[in-house]
Chain A
């Protein structure tokens, strides 16, 4: 069964600090991995997408890494802002399947 595990479940950081979120997956055959940001009461919005051959991708203050050998990904948030408070979901696609495998998300709270 395709699974996506995220850690930590939640974290609180001070504004301006950095943080890193983790994602482990067992999805096979791997196609791509996306990190989504989901604000409270909103739908998920894609931040980054990485295929098998990519090991890092940046979008502003968000940097995602991928190790396809160990099936791990991370999302690093630099110089956090209050608006970064949200749930961050790791999503993996398998083969040519349109079905997405979602992690449970990491809830990030940024405090002033």
Chain B
């Protein structure tokens, strides 16, 4: 039973570049979440998918951030024109169903560094 996996584990890019971060949720989990964790802080919600649709993207900081989940499984977080302030660990989580009581299982994260 594989858990949530994320690739790459580390990504270093230059300011202004485009990056894609991938998340493979636990098989059969319908809900998928993206979080951003800055150094010394707890994760902050970015976006939540129920199936293929983004049910709540209210945590995305601006329009440079976009995420997709075209087939209801793998998700990609896309960041355009990266800025140094985007440097953080991006965590993905999945749960069997959405809503309270459904434990979210987290991946190891992708550490993004924008130079």
Interface residues of A (CB under 8 A from B): 4, 31-32, 34, 41-46, 49, 89, 91, 93, 95-100, 102-105
Contact = CB atoms under 8 A, between A and B. Distances in A.
B40 interface: yes
Interface residues of B, number: 26
B99 A96 contact: yes
B100 A43 contact: no
A31 B42 contact: no
9 smallest beta-carbon distances between A and B, as pairs:
A102-B42, A43-B106, A31-B100, A98-B98, A93-B100, A44-B106, A43-B107, A43-B108, A104-B42
B25 to A, nearest CB: 12
The majority secondary structure among interface residues of chain B is loop
A36 to B, nearest CB: 8
A87 B101 CA distance: 23
A4 B106 contact: no
B98 A43 contact: no
14 contacts: A32-B100, A34-B103, A42-B108, A42-B109, A43-B106, A96-B100, A98-B48, A98-B56, A99-B48, A102-B42, A103-B42, A104-B40, A104-B42, A105-B40
Contacts of A49: 103
B99 A4 contact: no
A93 to B, nearest CB: 5
Contact of B44 (A32, A89, A97, A102): A102
Nearest to A91: B42
Contacts of A4: 42
A45 B106 CA distance: 7
A43 B45 contact: no
B91 interface: yes
